[in-house]
Amino acid sequence: MASIINSLAVPSSYRDQLYQGSSNQLSDDLSTTATLYVGNLSFFTTEEQIYELFGKCGEIKRIIMGLDRNQKTPCGFCFVEYYHRSDALDCMKYTNGTKLDERVIRCDLDPGFKEGRQFGRGKSGGQVRDEYRTEYDVGRGGWGHRMRMQLEHDRERNIKENYEAIKDIPQGADEYKSRAGTGGQSAKRKYDDNQDESRKRPKEQNPRFRENEDDDEE
């Protein structure tokens, strides 16, 4: 009997370009897999949060967090492997398109996790989608990699144009410097002359004190 309602437990049309195998092998793997790929996660979402949400659909065998290849920090995806395929299909039905950490997450059937797939494939170490992202996303580390590079380039150019040390002496600066130096030397010379005159001047006697005892006898 035909149905007008599409199943929510079918895999998407996305195909892993690095999958080693034929299209028939991929179809066979997807028809028996109990592993899900979860995308659009926040960089701050923890493994405990994922376990709490996805554990409602069945018993989880393991969770593999996606990591930045260079920094080894979460970069917005993970793999969830169940013990039973039926639990993975239920998760596709009930969890795909829901919110986790205020983000709409995507779930898709995965042919199976292999070592090395936990690392981002982007040139910067993260996911490829974050290489080209032009909007500011707090949950995904702010700007995309290319936007960060462009902003950093613009900042360096602005500093170079407006704040770099002056190499060429402005016209008239030498004349001002010579005047300032002459004024300083003349002021120092005047101060030294005053000091010399004060040393040559005889010391004045304090009228409140007498110099010897003869004044008392008079």
CATH number at residue 77: 3.30.70.330
The predicted pLDDT at position 48 comes to 96
Q: Does residue 103 share a domain with residue 37?
A: yes
Mean pLDDT, rounded, for 126-151: 81
214: pLDDT strictly greater than 60: no
Domain annotation covers residue 15: no
Q: Is the pLDDT of residue 205 over 80?
A: no
Question: Tell me, what's the pLDDT at 110?
Answer: 95
Q: pLDDT band at 183, cuts 50/70/90?
A: low
The total number of structural domains that make up the chain: 2
Residue 46 domain flag: yes
Shared domain check, 76 and 155: no
Q: What is the pTM of this model?
A: 0.66
Provide the mean pLDDT of the chain.
Answer: 81
Per-residue pLDDT at 73: 94
Question: Tokens standing for 52?
Answer: 């709490």
3-state secondary structure the chain: CCCCCCCCCCCCCCCCCCCCCCHHHHHHHHHHCCEEEEECCCCCCCHHHHHHHHCCCCCEEEEEEEECCCCCCEEEEEEEEECCHHHHHHHHHHCCCCEECCEECEEEEECCCCCCCCECCCCCCCCCHHHHCCCCEHHHCECCHHHHHHHHHHHHHHHHHHCCCCCCCCCCHHHHHHHHHHHHHHHHHHHHHHHHHHHHCCCCCCCCCCCCCHHHHC
Q: What confidence category does residue 218 fall into, taking pLDDT thresholds of 50, 70 and 90? A: very low
Per-residue pLDDT, averaged over 186-199, amounts to 63
Nearest partner of 78 among 46, 34, 38, judged by Cα: 38
